[in-house]
Amino acid sequence: MALAAPPSTTPHSLFLQNHAFLKPNSTAFTLSPSTPRPRPFSISCSAILPIQDRPSPHNQLQDRVFNFAAGPATLPENVLLKAQSELYNWRGSGMSVMEMSHRGKDFRSIIEKAEADLRALLNIPDNYAVLFLQGGATTQFASVPLNLCRPDDTVDYLVTGSWGDKAFKEAQKYCKPKVIWSGKSEKYVRVPSFDGLEQSPNAKYLHICANETIYGVEFKDYPVPTNPNAVLVADMSSNFCSKPVDVTKFGLIYAGAQKNVGPSGVCIVIVRKDLIGNAQEVTPVMLDYKIHADNNSLYNTPPCFGIYMCGLVFEDLLNQGGLEEVEKKNIKKAGILYNAIDESKGFYRCPVEKPVRSLMNVPFTLEKSELEAEFLKEAAKEKMVELKGHRSVGGMRASIYNAMPLAGVEKLVAFMKDFQARHA
């Protein structure tokens, strides 16, 4: 007798309907009365839509929103689609990247190419190590002082926002940090003149946050440590790979991947090799740069799929023409949004001083704060989400990272103008 197909509304069948790349065996079969009873066997689900009825990639893209989140953030659609196509069987390996041994040749090829492409993007010299780590940029708040100085050493922090402040507070556990300038009293709206900074003469390093995600303050140039033996250290989490950077100006750069170059779970450290190998005795093994450098970021199981995704993003950035071309696109997008704010006659306002406004994170407030909830509600209906400002600041914030298309910014600006016309 014929075996009936299972109902088409189970969670598994719905999953299969929406993931054609899994390619299940959909062949039905029958048993005649004379057929010997077979051994126990498994039956593949056959209740899937005919191929012509499955959602096309074009329709799937139409269902996506413009995601203005600060991180985790939007990723390039072509990268997501490539990852989708390779998810079940990575390039004929017979397994997903998520299933691979991190010590096998397949994953080694992935991490090695990711590093090579990142080196090409940022023109990273051979005397710098590239590390793919875990723990986010916040873990580096401890790793940096533990690796670069001794408990009695002085280090300087230039604080232009919340993340620089958090880094300073964490460093207090491991050395003697000094805040040489803070914009906290002014609510973090500017970067100081470097000429007036009173740096500590014996500081081991000068730490900055190159782009403050919450307040939207971005360094357009970088200070130079006055101590010739000191190095500049930068948290570049929210503007990493958004523009060309002269890596040789820094002793160490670190960045969480989840804003511009991948999903959450990966932290990238670029550190000059002569700074490695002098960690404090109390440094946990997982925070010791030498351990990770000596093992090519494979000391323990790394965030394999996250590194794979970062590699796809690096490849995509190279295909766009490199960071010079990426920066041009980012300048254009930010200019359109800031112009809309500045030309709104006060209905919208960005508090950050113009010379240091971030190309990545655009905070703004409404003249009538009571309209903020309505603004967010209407924007969401138009498929523009995650525009609410950070809980510590309020207002709005549009994060327009590399992967935010120009069309997303143009749609937001059109909505803002329409909202103003209806509520001014």
The pair of structure tokens assigned to 140 is 């580096």
41 touches 22 (CB < 8 A): no
Degrees to nearest 5, angle at CA 163 with 389 and 198:
130
Q: Are 201 and 227 in contact, with CB atoms under 8 Å apart? A: yes
Using an 8 Å Cβ cutoff, are 26 and 67 in contact? no
Beta strands at 217-218 and 211-212: parallel, antiparallel or unpaired: antiparallel
Instruction: Report yes or no: 134 and 303 within 8 Å, Cβ to Cβ.
Output: yes
Cβ 360 vs Cβ 239: under 8 Å = yes
CA 63 to chain centre: 22
Largest CA distance in the chain: 95
Length of the chain: 424
* Catalytic-role residue among 204, 259, 333, 388: 259
Residue 6: count other Cβ atoms within 10 Å of its Cβ.
13
* Per annotation, catalytic residue among 90, 153, 156, 163: 163
Active site (annotated) includes residue 235: yes
Told to judge if 163 belongs to the known catalytic residues of this protein, a careful annotator would answer: yes
Are 147 and 279 in contact by the 8 Å Cβ rule? The answer is: yes
* Structure letter (DSSP) for residue 126: T
Residue of 350, 124, 94 lying closest to 250 (CA atoms)? 124
CA-nearest of 216, 262, 238 to 365 is 216
Structure tokens at 405: 């298309």
Of 235, 243, 316, 388, the active-site residue reads 235
Write the DSSP symbol of residue 54: S
Establish whether 195 is a catalytic residue: no
- How far is C-alpha 159 from the geometric centre of its chain's CA atoms? 22
Q: At what angle do helices 136-148 and 162-171 cross, to 10 degrees?
A: 40
Annotated catalytic sites, by residue? Answer: 163, 235, 259
